[in-house]
Each structure stands twice: as structure tokens, then as C-alpha cells.
Amino acid sequence: MAGPIPNPANFQCPVPLTGHTEIQIAHGGGGRLTQELIERVFGPAFANPSLDARHDGAVLDVPPGARLAFTTDSHVVSPLFFPGGDIGRLAVHGTVNDLAMCGARPRWLSAGFILEEGLPLEVLERVVRSMGEAARAAGVSIVTGDTKVVERGKGDGLYVNTSGIGVIEHALIIAPASVREGDAILLSGDIGRHGMAILAQREGLAFESSIESDCAALWPAVEALLTAGIDVHCLRDLTRGGLATAVIEIAETAGLAATLDENAVAVSESVRGACELLGLDPFYVANEGRFVAFVPDAQADRAVAILQRFAPEGGAGRIGKVQESPRGEVTLRSTVGVERILDRLSGEQLPRIC
Ligand code: MG
């Protein structure tokens, strides 16, 4: 489809433009137009020395002996723009948050775009600008990238893959294997906003008060916990499958049990109402700016106080504890004191939410 890449460049983009309003597939895209897209769209939004070097890859200066975290995520959210965010912002936060969950300071991202023929250039520009803003705010540089075009009808507008590298600046092993019996389980804020914002937008549903995605970078809160000397055992962002799935996965991997207190888990009135209307359980709805932290019980109150500083909408608190058995099982104590085992979802509750 697209011809050989004319200029080796950190941002390889063999996409000619027509009339500057539509992206069109061309066979053997010309160097001048490639250059134009880099200069007009990607360059201004992502500018940094690595990208500006226009080389085949980014060369990174890593602190000697540093441990690195490396992760990747593809983003296919539909629609591309939604209350509280868009696919570009999501693509940055999705990857920097996975790095933060490893206890790593996010530093560098790659961005791979799959564009559908006919996508208005304005849409790409808006998404790329949003990515640039989110990256700057998160303290990461988008240092390398790629663009491919697929035929009309085969791409649904725009997909974005981001990979990221973060630097671990402490000696903790933040992972499910570090979770211990007696650990407190903390939640960073109210749940269910992202999934319900997407669903409302997609289905044209109007709720009494509009629901905005919680899409946000989580590193500042994680960094504050680490700086305060909290002995963080494990972190997990509550994306696909929501809070329930995250805690079940960690309990299974750690070979421990967990009990959650439904009363302690904050759900906004609008999210609760929308979930009831649609027959969804907020414990399984995706978030893009919330996480759970497993910390020693003795440090839990101090850690909660820190998380509350980063939760302007409230809802940060202690929601449960880790027990020895039954291994892999997560029990929810309901608001009326009834206990039930939380199961994994058999299918995806909401497709195309990230
Ligand atoms: Mg994650």
C-alpha cells in the first residue's frame, strides 16, 4: 500500500495530503508530503530533542544501573472523543499509568498510528495535539513513532499504539508477588466514570448530570506515596474489568485472599444511576484514572491521607484487606453485611472502551 519510506526519520509517515483536509492513501508516498505531515502535525505537538534529531530510532540516556519498566498498549476506543478525554489523551495515560503501576517514573513513549483513508486531517491534528499536551503534563517525551494508512472502511478512523519506558528510582519490588497477608487495600478515588462516560456518549444517553471520564495520569500520586516512604507492595490501575477484576487478578497471582467492603467504595450518584439503568455493576466498569494500592496495614492511614490529596472528586480510602485464604478468592461484604464471592467476568462488559 504505502511505498517505501522516503526519509529515514524518527517519525516515519508516508502519507501524502490532499487539499490539507483529508488523509488519502497513495502508492509510494512522496517525501515532500511526508515531511509536511511531520512538520505540520507531529513535530509541533511532540517537539523534543530525540524526535527533532530525525533519526531511525530514539537514543535514550539511561541512568547507570537503573531498572527500567517497559509496557505497551493499543487504543481502539469508540468514539474518538468523549466527555473528559479523547483517544490521544487516553493513549498517553494508558501507557504512563501502566509504568506508574510498576513504580516507575514514566520517561519515554513511542506512538504508532493506524489511520483510515479519508480521516479528516483536523481530527488527526486534534488527537495529536491532545497527546502532546497529555505527554508534557505527565513529564514524558514521545520520542519515536510510525504511521500507517489502511483503506477506507477498514480502520474505523484512527487507532493508536503507545509503548513506554519508565525508570525505577527505588529498591521496592512493586508486584503481586510482594503482597502480604494483612496488607491494607487502598482505592485512589470513586469508580466507574470512564466506562459510563464512553457508553453514554456512544449510545447517545443523557443522564441527569453528565458523566466525565476520570482519564488522568497516576504517577504523581504514586510518586507521593514513594517519596513519603510508604512500603508499597503492589499497584494496579482499574482499567478493563474495573476494580473487581484488578483485585481478583492480584489475589490469584499472589495466592492470597482479599475482602472488600462495599460501603468503602465510592461511586458517584450519576455513575450509580447510569449503571442501574443499564444493568451494569460499577465494580466491573473501566476507569482510566483510578488504582488500588496494597500497603502494610500500619502505613495505611498515612497512605490514604496522601491519596486524598490527589483525589479532587473524593473517594480515596481504605476498601479492604488481604487474608491468607481461601487462595485467589475475593469476598465482597455488601452494604447490608451480606458476603459474596466476586467472580471474573465471563466476557467483556463493555467493548472498545480503551
Ligand atoms: Mg494496567
> What pLDDT, in 10s, does the model give residues 268-278?
999 999 999 88
Among 200-209, 254-263, 316-325, the range scoring the smallest mean pLDDT is 200-209
For residues 162 and 279, give the distance between their C-alpha atoms in angstroms, rounded to a whole number: 33
Cα of 71 vs centre of ligand 1, distance in Å, is 9
Cα of 72 vs centre of ligand 1, distance in Å, is 10
Residue found by looking up cell 469476598 in the block: 331
Cα of 238 vs centre of ligand 1, distance in Å, is 7
Cα of 36 vs centre of ligand 1, distance in Å, is 35
Domain 8-168 in CATH 3.40.50.300 = no
pLDDT of residue 34: 58
Q: Which three cell numbers mark 12? A: 516515519
pLDDT of residue 205: 78
> Is residue 326 scored above 90 in pLDDT?
yes
Cα of 19 vs centre of ligand 1, distance in Å, is 40
Cα of 95 vs centre of ligand 1, distance in Å, is 8
pLDDT of residue 29: 45
Cα of 240 vs centre of ligand 1, distance in Å, is 8
pLDDT confidence of 1, banded at 50, 70, 90? Answer: very low
Cα of 124 vs centre of ligand 1, distance in Å, is 26
Cα of 139 vs centre of ligand 1, distance in Å, is 19
> Is residue 295 scored above 80 in pLDDT?
yes
Cα of 272 vs centre of ligand 1, distance in Å, is 24
Cα of 2 vs centre of ligand 1, distance in Å, is 33
Cα of 98 vs centre of ligand 1, distance in Å, is 5
Helix (H) or strand (E) holding 332: strand 330-333
> Is residue 15 scored above 70 in pLDDT?
no
Q: What is the pLDDT of residues 140-151, one digit of tens each?
A: 999 999 888 889
Cα of 212 vs centre of ligand 1, distance in Å, is 20
Among 36-40, 95-99, 126-130, 178-182, the range scoring the smallest mean pLDDT is 36-40
Segment 248-273 shows an average pLDDT of 97
Segment 2-14 shows an average pLDDT of 38
Cα of 227 vs centre of ligand 1, distance in Å, is 22
Q: Where are the domains of the chain?
A: 8-168, 176-342
Contact 196, 283 (CB under 8 A): no
Cα of 43 vs centre of ligand 1, distance in Å, is 29
CA dihedral over 62, 63, 69, 75, signed as positive or negative: negative
Cα of 218 vs centre of ligand 1, distance in Å, is 11
Segment 156-180 shows an average pLDDT of 97
Cα of 340 vs centre of ligand 1, distance in Å, is 25
pLDDT confidence of 53, banded at 50, 70, 90? Answer: confident
Segment 121-131 shows an average pLDDT of 95
Segment 197-225 shows an average pLDDT of 90
Domain 176-342 in CATH 3.90.650.10 = yes
Q: Which residues of 221-243 are buried (b: 16+ CB within 10 A; e: fewer)?
A: bbbebbeeebbbbbbbbbbbbbb
Cα of 105 vs centre of ligand 1, distance in Å, is 15
Cα of 217 vs centre of ligand 1, distance in Å, is 12
Cα of 97 vs centre of ligand 1, distance in Å, is 7
> Is residue 16 scored above 70 in pLDDT?
no
CB atoms within 10 A of CB 65: 5
For residues 237 and 187, give the distance between their C-alpha atoms in angstroms, rounded to a whole number: 10
pTM comes to 0.91
User: Burial level of 254, CB count in 10 A (0-12/13-18/19+)?
Assistant: buried
Cα of 29 vs centre of ligand 1, distance in Å, is 37
Cα of 140 vs centre of ligand 1, distance in Å, is 18
Residue 41 DSSP symbol: I
pLDDT of residue 54: 84
> Is residue 102 scored above 90 in pLDDT?
yes
φ, ψ of residue 22 in degrees (nearest 5): -130, 145
Cα of 96 vs centre of ligand 1, distance in Å, is 9
Cα of 47 vs centre of ligand 1, distance in Å, is 27
> Is residue 62 scored above 60 in pLDDT?
yes
